[in-house]
């Protein structure tokens, strides 16, 4: 049984409701797509302070996968392919290309712009459900274009710290919703931004207390590099 931060868990139950609201309601009222746009803009601001923290705590889609999809997921181990660069960037190019073309085709009409974001959330949700049912619920979050973008644009921001006390027991990997193994980064001392949503699951579950996140005002890796 994975222990979690109860506040994160509670927030995710509320946030998860936004997915059916936008994906289903948006086909009747396309302006609901602006909710998705607002969340994307929030993410783009927050990432410069806290890296992929948004993914772990605020993303409605991530919350939907972790709180709802989990009940029908087969929870199979995710293939390493999901973390391969080419696979991540293939999805980035395909989905961002689709969004750009549809935005150009909207001709600046506000309702059609909203419909583009409804369509994007629908496509992403369908893909996430397919992968999340067969593998672990948050499989999608390994190669979601928004997650990749945050990780790459903020490589040194608010990184998960790994202390030498780590005993390589593997428990943190089991606790991680995206199957990252923080213990594997003991030598580097930090987990790469792209590979971590700062959800704290591994921090809470590490028996050696070898993992930690810096305070939100200090974004310093063990290397001592302040950003
Ligand atoms: S990876 Fe994408 S879907 Fe997953 S939490 Fe981050 S922004 Fe949301
Ligand atoms: S749970 Fe802690 S001790 Fe075990 S591998 Fe992860 S960081 Fe190391
Ligand atoms: S490495 Fe730890 S903090 Fe990062 S996403 Fe996995 S469990 Fe959460």
From 22, 2, 14, select the one nearest 137 (Cα to Cα). 2
- Same structural domain for residues 28 and 134? yes
Q: Which residue lies with its CA nearest to atom 4 of ligand 3?
A: 196
- Same structural domain for residues 109 and 127? yes
Q: How far is the CA of 45 from the centre of ligand 2 (A)?
A: 31
Q: Which residue lies with its CA nearest to atom 5 of ligand 2?
A: 168
**Under a CB-based contact definition with an 8 Å cutoff, are residues 225 and 157 in contact?**
no
The CATH number of residue 178's host domain is 3.30.70
pLDDT tens digits for the chain (227 residues)?
899 999 999 999 999 999 999 999 999 999 999 999 999 999 999 999 999 999 999 999 999 999 999 999 999 999 999 999 999 999 999 999 999 999 999 999 999 999 999 999 999 999 999 999 999 999 999 999 999 999 999 999 999 999 999 999 999 999 999 999 999 999 999 999 999 999 999 999 999 999 999 987 665 444 434 43
Q: How far is the CA of 160 from the centre of ligand 3 (A)?
A: 8
Distance CA 129, CA 70 (A): 10
Q: Is the CB of 176 under 6 A from ligand 2?
A: no
Question: Which of 108, 129, 153 finishes a domain?
Answer: 153
From 66, 78, 91, select the one nearest 144 (Cα to Cα). 91
**Under a CB-based contact definition with an 8 Å cutoff, are residues 227 and 197 in contact?**
no
For ligand 1, mutation pick of 51, 61, 139 (most atoms within 8 Å of CB): 61
Please give the pLDDT value at position 219: 52
pTM for this model (two decimals): 0.92
Q: Which residue lies with its CA nearest to atom 4 of ligand 1?
A: 141
Question: How would DSSP label each residue in 137-181?
Answer: TTGGGGT-HHHHHHHHH-TTSSPPEE-TT----SHHHHH-TT---
Residue 137 lies in a domain: yes
Question: Which of 132, 153, 174 finishes a domain?
Answer: 153
Query: What spatial distance separates the first Cα and last Cα of the chain, rounded to whole Å?
Result: 36
Residue 12 lies in a domain: yes
State which ligand 3 atom lies nearest to the alpha carbon of 200.
3
Ligand at shortest distance from the CA of 147? 1
Q: Is the CB of 174 under 6 A from ligand 2?
A: no
Residue 83 lies in a domain: yes
Number of domains in the chain: 2
Q: At what angle do helices 18-25 and 33-50 cross, to 10 degrees?
A: 140
Q: How far is the CA of 144 from the centre of ligand 1 (A)?
A: 6
- DSSP conformation class of 32: G
Show the domain range for 14.
6-153
């Amino acid at each position: 049984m994975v222990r979690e931060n109860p506040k994160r868990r509670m927030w995710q139950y509320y946030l998860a409701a936004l997915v059916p609201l936008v994906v289903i309601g948006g086909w009747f009222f396309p302006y609901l797509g602006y909710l998705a746009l607002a969340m994307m803009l929030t993410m783009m601001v927050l990432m410069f302070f806290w890296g992929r923290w948004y993914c772990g705590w605020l993303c409605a889609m991530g919350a939907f996968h972790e709180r709802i999809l989990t009940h029908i997921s087969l929870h199979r181990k995710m293939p390493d392919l999901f973390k391969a660069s080419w696979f991540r960037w293939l999805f980035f190019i395909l989905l961002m290309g689709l969004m750009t073309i549809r935005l150009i085709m909207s001709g600046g009409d506000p309702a059609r712009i909203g419909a583009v974001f409804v369509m994007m959330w629908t496509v992403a949700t369908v893909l996430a459900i397919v992968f999340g049912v067969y593998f672990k619920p948050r499989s999608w979050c390994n190669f979601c274009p928004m997650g990749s973008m945050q990780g790459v644009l903020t490589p040194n921001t608010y990184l998960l710290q790994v202390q030498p006390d780590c005993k390589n027991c593997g428990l943190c990997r089991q606790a991680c919703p995206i199957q990252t193994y923080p213990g594997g980064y003991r030598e580097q001392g930090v987990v790469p931004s792209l590979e971590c949503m700062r959800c704290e699951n591994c921090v809470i579950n590490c028996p050696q207390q070898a993992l930690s996140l810096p305070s939100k005002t200090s974004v310093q890796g063990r290397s001592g590099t302040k950003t």
